[in-house]
């Protein structure tokens, strides 16, 4: 209550900065605040003033980077006071901030991907969320063996995007989700997502493309996991034909598919 009274006693421009800055759930550099408040002439001094008034917190533990965030006691409440369009603009600015952080970071920081995706979903920029999850976050979680978190978050994203655009980004996302299901032993769900990825990749790239071969190969593996070696062989053969056409006879992808074919034939006792 005291903090709210302090906030409401400040100028409207200062309160605008606070409401907009509340879009960030995590501490951000001043660049993050600039992206949403650049047209406010005194935004820099307002940030310092907010820290003095305990309306913002300042983390200067790093000698290089100083970060700021609206105190959690106020953040959600004051952000909601903005109109829908204003909130959307703030989320869009936050997307730009996290895209910049991820592109400039020397190492991948998954928490930044989580934040980027959340802001993209809130801003209804579904393509951004799908692309970030499929290209970086889901592969990272899969490689880290964080399967439960990967599946939960992947399905959550799909639930927030009722009609995703059918493009290569969605195909990559669905393929990754299928791969994670395959790694957890749920071949049925893996097939479901691989099949969706295959359908989109064929539509985007045509029948003879490396992404199509990749989908076919993984479909073969999933069917083999279900004990359907004959069906697996059909998918492997299709993948092999494309890989030979794209890469030539002597290529690691061709060798991998041949190895998969050999395993399937062995399962049939041949």
Encoding tokens for residue 162?
Answer: 């009722």
For every residue of the chain, DSSP letters joined together read: -HHHHHHHTS-HHHHHHHHHHTT-SS-B-HHHHHHHHTTSTTHHHHHHHHHHTTSEEEE--SSS--EEEE-TTTHHHHHHTS-HHHHHHHHHHHHHHHHHHHHH-SS--HHHHHHHHHHHHHTT-HHHHHHHIIIIIHHHHHHTT-HHHHHHHHHHHHHH-SS---SHHHHHHHHHHHHHHHHTT-HHHHHHHHHHHHHHHHHHH-SS-HHHHHHHHHHHHHHHHTT-HHHHHHHHHHHHHHHHHHH-SSSHHHHHHHHHHHHHHHHTT-
Q: What is the mean pLDDT of residues 85-104?
A: 96
What pLDDT, in 10s, does the model give residues 177-203?
A: 999 999 999 999 999 999 999 999 999
CA distance 204 to 232: 24
Could you give the CA distance from residue 166 to residue 139 in angstroms, rounded to a whole number?
A: 20
Q: Residue 270: its pLDDT value, please?
A: 75
User: Is 205's pLDDT higher than 70?
Assistant: yes
In this prediction, residue 105 carries a pLDDT of 86
Q: Look at residue 225 and tell me whether its pLDDT is greater than 90.
A: yes
**Percent above pLDDT 70 for the chain:** 100
Neighbouring residues of 200: CB distance < 8 A, sequence distance ≥ 6: 166, 167, 168, 170, 171, 174
More confident residue, 266 or 27: 27
What pLDDT is stored for residue 63 in this prediction?
65
- Kindly report the average pLDDT of the chain as a whole number: 95
**pLDDT of 137 higher than 90:** yes
**Mean pLDDT calculated for residue range 74-101:** 96
Domains of the chain in start order, with CATH, are 1-82 (1.10.10.10), 84-181 (no CATH), 206-270 (1.25.40.10)
Residue in the structure block whose two tokens are 């049925």 = 188
| Total-model pTM | 0.91
């Amino acid at each position: 209550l005291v903090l709210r009274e302090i906030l409401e006693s400040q100028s409207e421009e200062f309160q605008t900065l606070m409401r907009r800055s509340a879009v960030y759930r995590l501490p951000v550099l001043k660049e993050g605040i600039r992206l949403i408040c650049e047209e406010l002439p005194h935004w820099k001094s307002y940030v310092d003033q907010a820290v003095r008034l305990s309306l913002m917190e300042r983390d200067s533990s790093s000698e290089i980077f100083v970060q700021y965030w609206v105190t959690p006691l106020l953040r959600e409440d004051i952000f909601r006071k903005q109109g829908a369009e204003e909130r959307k603009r703030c989320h869009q600015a936050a997307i730009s901030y996290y895209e910049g952080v991820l592109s400039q970071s020397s190492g991948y920081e998954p928490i930044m991907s989580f934040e980027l995706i959340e802001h993209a979903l809130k801003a209804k920029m579904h393509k951004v969320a799908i692309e970030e999850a499929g290209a970086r976050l889901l592969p990272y979680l899969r490689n880290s063996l964080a399967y439960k978190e990967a599946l939960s978050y992947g399905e959550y994203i799909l639930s927030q995007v009722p009609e995703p655009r059918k493009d290569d980004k969605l195909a990559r996302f669905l393929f990754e989700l299928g791969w994670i299901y395959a790694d957890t032993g749920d071949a049925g769900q893996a097939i479901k997502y691989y099949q969706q990825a295959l359908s989109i990749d064929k539509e985007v790239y045509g029948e003879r493309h490396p992404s199509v071969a990749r989908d076919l190969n993984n479909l073969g593996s999933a069917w083999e996991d279900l004990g359907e070696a004959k069906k697996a062989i059909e998918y492997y053969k299709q993948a092999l034909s494309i890989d030979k056409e794209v890469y030539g006879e002597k290529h690691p992808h061709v060798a991998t598919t041949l190895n998969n074919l050999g395993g399937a034939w062995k399962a049939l006792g041949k």
